[in-house]
Amino acid sequence: MRLTEGQVLELFRTLTARQLRQWVRRGWIVPSQVESVPLFDDVDIARLRLVCELRDDMNVNDDAVPIILALLDQLYGLRRELRTIAGALRRQPDDVRQEVMRALSVIVTRQQ
């Protein structure tokens, strides 16, 4: 699903066109551009919902929003990498998986 700016503003009644454009300029939301018209996909909508909740419901100020978004982006990036590693590990022979599990166990024990 791709929404135009007008459709986004209908969806988020408390959001103004000025705010939306400002958030796009700041890079908080990065819609795709089709013939210089921004189109907002599902990820953009979820991110808009998050920014609205941070600002409206949690009273997070504009200085903190990009920090929170950057931390969440890092978290999701790390989760994506971990899924990739786990998938690669699942495709290895059993003896390789067992050796990796033993090595991880040693590392975890040392950290405790």
- Percentage of the chain exceeding pLDDT 70: 100
Whole-model pTM: value is: 0.80
Query: What is the maximum alpha-carbon separation in the chain?
Result: 58
Q: pLDDT digits over 8-38, tens only?
A: 999 999 999 999 999 999 999 999 999 989 9
Closest CA to 26 of 56, 72, 63, 79: 63
pLDDT at 1: 84
57 and 50 Cβ atoms separated by less than 8 Å: no
